[in-house]
Amino acid sequence: MDIHTDIPLKNYTTMRLGGNARFMVDVHTPNDVATICKRAKEQNLPMFVLGGGSNTIVHDEGFAGIVIHNRIPGFHVIAETPSDATLKIGAGEVWDEVVRRCVEMNLTGIEALSAIPGSTGAAPVQNIGAYGQEIAETLVEVEVYDTQVGAITTLANEQCQFAYRYSIFRGDQIGRYVILSVTLKLYRNAPQPPFYKAVQDYFDTNNITIYTPQAIRDAVIAIRTDKLPDPKVQPNTGSFFKNAIIEDWQLNQLKVEYPDMPTYDMPDGRFKVPTGWLIEQVGLKGQVLHGMKVHDKNALVLINESATSYADLAAAREEIIGAVRDKFRIQIEQEPLEI
């Protein structure tokens, strides 16, 4: 387990911005994680866990502590019945490869989460979701190293306090846990309609009437390929902004002024408003701000065209947030974490 110094974090994140890490180490086992966390604590070094770097923004000054690059492997069926299978997956596994393997096993539950970049360990952090599925719906438990007590433990689904793009790992317990593995329970039954509108539209357009996990995966990959830029070609973090969540009274007021505003019901009685639609309405879709381009196919996405610093990104972000707030009185929020 080699510790490297002065590592450019822009080479490890898909936005390709930011300064250097003072230290960086690849971890391949839970024991590696325990060892490095104890060493960091002894030396009073801050820590940050990095997976695929697709949901992380780095400041220009870099990170003065140690970045733990999570590479823990593993893909094991630990229980199965004729109707379901439970899998334990290492946090360092590439998420889309996990989805692909599960779909090839004809398991359903995460197929709509295809083509989401990043590692498996990052999936529960922001409770990844797309096209009608969320990781919280299939997650049984998360194995973690608890830096507060210096031990490996497990957190059940309910202990993670999942909500829309939220968990304790990016909430009030941020920095406490290093995710080691994720346990999922998936099912052998065929996916059942109704499907998310974009998926159903794809099925209708392509005359698909036999629904399988592979059919859902193929549809999602095709949709995402069309509307989201490849971070390997155009630096970006996928959806840069969360969709807005508003209260009932706010929706009623806005519908008077903007009757065509799309909304989606949330389980808690609030309403989701597509932030891409809000950004488009303020005239910023396709615009370049401080070297950051608002994607012309999906205004949730910011592409680094010529920005050279976090400061450029921050200026573009604040301009977008301010324009939406001024027009709609809605405060939109950034999705990627920052170090």
Task: List own/partner pairs for 167-174 with CB under 8 A and 24 or more apart.
Answer: 167/124, 167/125, 167/126, 167/127, 167/136, 169/124, 169/125, 170/125, 170/126, 170/337
66's CB contacts (< 8 A; 6+ apart) are: 3, 21, 22, 23, 24, 25, 36, 40, 45, 46, 47, 48
**Is the preceding peptide bond at 82 cis, omega within 30 degrees of 0?**
no
Secondary structure (3-state) at 256: helix
Catalytic positions, please?
165, 239, 335
Looking only at the bridges linking them, the beta strands covering 63-70 and 47-50 are parallel
Reported as type and span, the H/E element at residue 80 is strand 75-80
Secondary structure (3-state) at 132: coil
Reported as type and span, the H/E element at residue 219 is helix 213-227
Distance CA 100, CA 209 (A): 21
Q: Which residues does residue 76 pair with via DSSP β-bridges, in sequence order?
A: 88
Helices and strands of the chain, counted as H and E runs: 7, 20
Burial of 250 (0-12, 13-18, 19+ CB in 10 A): middle
Distance CA 60, CA 324 (A): 26
322's CB contacts (< 8 A; 6+ apart) are: none
The residue written with tokens 């209260």 in the block is 247
Distance CA 132, CA 200 (A): 11
Distance CA 337, CA 7 (A): 19
Distance CA 277, CA 298 (A): 9
